[in-house]
Structure 1
Amino acid sequence: MPETNIPSRKAAWLPRLALAAVMPALIAGHGAAAQEAELAPTPIEAMAYDAGSKALLVGGQNGLFRSTDEGQTWQTVPLPPGAGEIAATAVPARSDNAIYVAGPDMGVLRTDDRGESWSNLNSGLPNPHVTALAAHSTQPDTVYAYVPETGIYRSQDAGKSWKMMDRGPEGTSHLIHTNMEGSMESGWLYAATPDGTRVSMDCFCLWRDAGNLSGPITGLAFDPQHPKHLYAASDAGLFKSTDGGQEWIKVSSPPIAAAVTSLMMAPTGVLYAGADEGEIFKSSDGAATWERAGE
């Protein structure tokens, strides 16, 4: 497969430590309320699914949005003032209202009331520049964060404290945790990188290539009902693996001209793809066919 060159969707970052310094541990009462909204034509950089409330969550430069009708209508999820761009979002296992968000200015934040108040979870992180985030697939209090040029940090107390676990694959833009069998600990971590997909058991024993995908990977997802089933997006198209990433086959891509910038599969079996221009498509048949979300 030829090498591809996809412009990075992450803007160049200069540390904004002043923001982190003034942001309190609990940010509450910021006056915003959820409102009906339309998605702007900007990249969908983060996607997650709250199984408890059956809500699709998407984030990017313009904030965080929530839909309980598969993308037909959207509501804003209020964020703290000055939170900045959302690079990743995640929902802890077995949770109805909790949401994690992360970004290059905010570090990691968590809400347990759909955005009415937020907790700052940066204690133990080296700086607030977080570009990838993953919730453990079965352990509600375990979450992972990737800080560029530093590595992957793990929290086992719902983000109250962090411990550096591994340098991680350089340039990680998406991170997912799966409960696929065969791990020496409790599951597997997959990372989307500029040079393909990497995988490691969550004991951080060894990172290796997950198959032969090359070039930048712009979206990564797994099927919660079939953890060996993975999906990866690149400029060369959309790919699927049914053996945990050892081999990949090309499948149908959403009918969009722009690049896929995020992937997520809900426990319902619906695969969602977010695009560079703010479009969201869904597939209910394993990427055989696609339709625009909300139609």
Structure 2
Amino acid sequence: MHVFVAGATGAVGGLLVPLLIDSGHQVTGMTRTETGLGRLRAQGATPIQVDAFDADGLRNALASAAPDAVIHQLTALAAGSSADNGQIRREGTRNLVDAAKNAGVKRIIAQSVAWAYEPGAGPADETAQLDHTDPARATLVGGVHALEEAVAELQEHVVLRYGTFYGPRTWYSPDGLVADKLAGRLPAESPAAKLLGGLRADDAVTSFVHVADAARAAVDALDWPSGVVNIVDDEPAPGRDWLPVLADALAVPVPPAEASGARWQRGARNTRARSLGWQPRYPTWRTGFPAMSS
């Protein structure tokens, strides 16, 4: 299969491209930078330089590549801005979907998130609705909704609702923003610090996924039926459980425990992904976090 990867040099995309090639797929990788072009060539992909906000350039890139499927891994997380990432989800996805439709592409796999669900008791499965009730989450949920609605316009579409990423080149890595935040190295007024909040050892439940497992899910999803799939590990957990393990792996101070957490901070279930054959190499953060520093 010929696969066009948008966001091919990001944290997930950088791992995804070699997996696709190793699986026998032909890959065209999209990047904004000259450095990205060289990286993709070295991995064995055909690189195309185009910006997701350049609708005409993206349309030409997809028409030229003529892929069988598109994998959407576009993000704007480097600066830690929720507004930038929301713009990518809305405008970048719109441009990508329009370009794919123009090129006659029938299948798309897209990156979404597993923490936009409405409040509820226990981890959410894919039948839970997105949370449109909290104004404080309007940018996040609105961007996710726009992305998922656009992707569903293609005949075959799989939305991967990923848990919080950890591993190489993520915020939750030994040299990432979370380590800087916990060690007091992140300026309090920076966009990333505000987005991360207090990082409390509290009752708020999070579902994680290692980026390598996220990349494998995108490859697997090329053969999955249309729909939404949570891509998270087996153990949703409150901050009081996972944050001390993460802090130890990152060699940074452990925040004090406290009782707090919103009802939407509930985690997610991976039952559907497991039923489709996805098997994470890191089924729990308990082993995945320590592996980052080994």
Q: TM-score, normalised by structure 1?
A: 0.29
Q: TM-score, normalised by structure 2?
A: 0.29
When Rg is computed on C-alpha atoms for both structures, the one with the higher figure is 2
